[in-house]
């Protein structure tokens, strides 16, 4: 028997909730990310260029083009989401994401409703292969920094589509979820589009471009698993896939520092820092929905991962996960006794502190 009833797009168990979920009136009881309110209320971020001293507005802002008319004529945020998903060119997709969120933030759009495409539009390159077919760095013939950056750019491009798919696919639940849910994920999409832009810019500076190396379609396959269940989407994407970025990010930063590419390491560090918000948003909505349905979040989360065959992989960045508000009992192996858990947590916390201090010292140099 299913632990949690699937929520079809046309109705489902959320339909029993007569009033929209109100974050301010019914916030989750567990500790949440301290920066959530500030992130939600902040103005549109125009720092889409990576300058000599970090993010800044583009020195040559993009001019309006005929392709932008599609977004300008869109009647709703969900319709914008579908248009972005149907855009194959990565840089155009990134720009339209930003334009869509800007229109939403400026009050020009309602949430509305739209049907997303089964798969997001993609350019002819990179060639998509299975994860096992991705060549290891030593066999790729590409410098380590460009190799890592291309992989990250691919993740960020997928993340744009994942956020917009959530907006469009679950727009039929707007009466229950309320505006804030869709505003949050539209902002996530805008963040991801800015991250992709930084990665693309840096790849160009290194003499490469997105599409120069093979990539896999694993993230979108994970997305498809949760296409009919809002709780599963929140569990699989922000609470597993994006949380993995918190785990792997500091290691990637240190590898780039060791390679001698401090500019790229600074870009990656900034991206990892901003990903905390995306995980925190997932925690917030997953917990709130579970509470409204009378389900224990921890058991529901574990049950969904088992049902959808999603694997949790360590090592975990406990410090970043704690900051994002993911309770440790959601993802720690229950077969490990409490004493061992505590010792492992203390070791991971110390390692996270050491990495942070080393990074700060490197930046000072």
Per residue in 13-33, pLDDT (tens digit) is 565 555 667 665 444 546 789
Residues 6+ apart with CB under 8 A from 130: 216
Helix (H, G, I), strand (E, B) or coil at 92: helix
As a whole number of angstroms, the distance between CA 45 and CA 102 comes to 9
Give the pLDDT mean for 291-313.
Answer: 94
Mean pLDDT along residues 156-183: 96
Mean pLDDT of all residues in 233-250: 95
- Residue 226 contacts residue 233 (beta carbons within 8 Å): yes
DSSP-based three-state secondary structure for 51: strand
State residue 281 phi and psi, 5-degree precision: -60, -40
Q: Under a CB-based contact definition with an 8 Å cutoff, are residues 195 and 271 in contact?
A: yes
Q: Is the pLDDT at 305 greater than 60, yes or no?
A: yes
Across 111-115, 291-295, 341-345, least confident range: 341-345
Asked if pLDDT for residue 275 goes beyond 80, the answer is yes
- Res 63: pLDDT: 73
Written out in words, the top-level CATH class of the domain with range 124-159+169-353 is: mainly alpha
Average pLDDT, the chain: 85
SS3 130: coil
Check pLDDT > 90 for residue 263. yes
In this prediction, residue 336 carries a pLDDT of 42
Residues constituting the chain? 365
- Residues 195 and 182: their CA atoms lie apart, in Å, by 20
pLDDT, one tens digit per residue, over 89-126 is: 999 999 999 999 999 999 989 999 999 998 999 998 98
| Percent of the chain whose pLDDT exceeds 90 | 65
pLDDT at residue 343 tops 70: no
Residue 88 to residue 120: CA distance in whole angstroms: 8
Domain boundaries, the chain: 124-159+169-353
Mean pLDDT of 140-160: 92
Question: Residue 135: what pLDDT?
Answer: 76
pLDDT at position 170: 97
Q: What value does the mean pLDDT take over residues 130-142? A: 77
How far is C-alpha 278 from the geometric centre of its chain's CA atoms? 5
């Amino acid at each position: 028997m299913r632990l949690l009833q699937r929520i079809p797009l046309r109705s489902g168990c959320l339909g029993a909730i007569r009033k929209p979920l109100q974050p301010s009136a019914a916030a989750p009881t567990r500790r949440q990310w301290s920066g959530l309110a500030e992130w939600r209320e902040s103005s549109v971020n125009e720092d889409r260029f990576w300058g000599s001293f970090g993010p800044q507005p583009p020195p040559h802002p993009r001019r309006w083009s005929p392709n932008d008319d599609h977004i300008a004529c869109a009647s709703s945020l969900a319709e914008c989401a579908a248009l972005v998903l149907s855009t194959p060119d990565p840089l155009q997709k990134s720009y339209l994401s930003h334009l869509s969120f800007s229109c939403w933030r400026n009050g020009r759009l309602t949430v509305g409703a739209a049907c997303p495409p089964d798969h997001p539009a993609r350019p002819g390159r990179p060639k998509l292969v299975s994860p096992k077919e991705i060549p290891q760095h030593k066999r790729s013939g590409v410098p380590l920094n460009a190799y890592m950056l291309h992989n990250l750019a691919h993740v960020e491009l997928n993340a744009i589509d994942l956020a917009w798919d959530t907006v469009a696919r679950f727009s039929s639940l707007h009466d229950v979820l309320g505006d804030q849910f869709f505003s949050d994920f539209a902002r996530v999409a805008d963040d991801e589009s800015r991250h992709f832009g930084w990665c693309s810019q840096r790849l160009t500076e290194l003499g490469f471009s997105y599409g120069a190396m093979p990539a896999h379609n694993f993230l979108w396959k994970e997305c498809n698993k949760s296409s009919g269940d809002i709780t599963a989407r929140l569990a699989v994407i922000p609470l597993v896939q994006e949380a993995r970025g918190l785990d792997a990010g500091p290691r990637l930063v240190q590898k780039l520092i060791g390679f001698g590419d401090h500019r790229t390491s600074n870009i990656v560090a900034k991206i990892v820092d901003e990903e905390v918000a995306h995980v925190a948003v997932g925690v917030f909505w997953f917990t709130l929905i579970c509470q409204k349905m009378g389900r224990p979040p921890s058991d529901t989360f574990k049950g969904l991962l088992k049902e959808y065959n999603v694997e949790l992989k360590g090592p975990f960045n406990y410090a970043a996960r704690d900051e994002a508000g993911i309770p440790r009992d959601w993802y720690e192996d229950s077969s490990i006794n409490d004493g061992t858990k505590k010792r492992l947590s203390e070791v991971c916390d110390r390692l996270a502190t050491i990495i942070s201090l080393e990074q700060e010292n490197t930046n000072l140099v």
